[in-house]
Amino acid sequence: MSLFDTLKERATDLAQSGVAKSKELAEIGKLKLDNAAEEDAIKKAYIEIGKLYYAERGMTPEPAYSALCEKITASKAVIEANNARADEIRAASNIEEPVVEAEAPAKAPAEEPAAPQDDQPQE
């Protein structure tokens, strides 16, 4: 085999191993993205569990959850007081529409638990 053929074969081998390594790295990147999406789904489920628990048991929580439920209740009271004060200021100043108002938090379900969702991620 000539020196040229040997170099050509070596270059081909290096190129093929580079392509293989790129495919492996691309797959690892895709798996990491998939894991991030799954972790986001877990966080959303945790939030929904918390909302459901607070809606059902927030006024009489089990001891392990009482401090967190009290924080939520206190924060809701502060939000309500802030909104009332903002309404007073608007009324006193004859402001019809607020310039910037924070989005109201979503209300927790009253009695009915949420219907089971299919495997599609929610937006």
pTM for the model? 0.56
The pLDDT value recorded for residue 102 is: 60
pLDDT-derived band at 104 (thresholds 50, 70, 90) equals low
Question: Which amino acid is residue 4, in one-letter code?
Answer: F
| 67-96 pLDDT, tens digit each | 999 999 999 999 999 999 999 999 998 877
CB 114 within 8 A of CB 57: no
Q: Tens digit of pLDDT for each residue in 2-38?
A: 888 888 888 898 898 899 999 999 999 999 999 999 9
3-state helix, strand, coil in the chain (%, to 5): 70, 0, 30
Residues contacting residue 55 through CB under 8 Å, at least 6 positions apart: 108, 109, 110
Question: Within 10 Å of residue 90's Cβ, how many Cβ atoms?
Answer: 13
b/e burial code for range 28-40 (CB count within 10 A of at least 16 → b): eeeeeeeeeeeee
Residue among 42, 28, 54, 39 nearest 106 (CA): 54
Q: Domain map of the chain by residue range?
A: 17-57, 61-95
At 68, give phi and psi (nearest 5°): -70, -40
In what helix (H) or strand (E) does residue 89 lie, and over which residues does it extend? helix 63-93
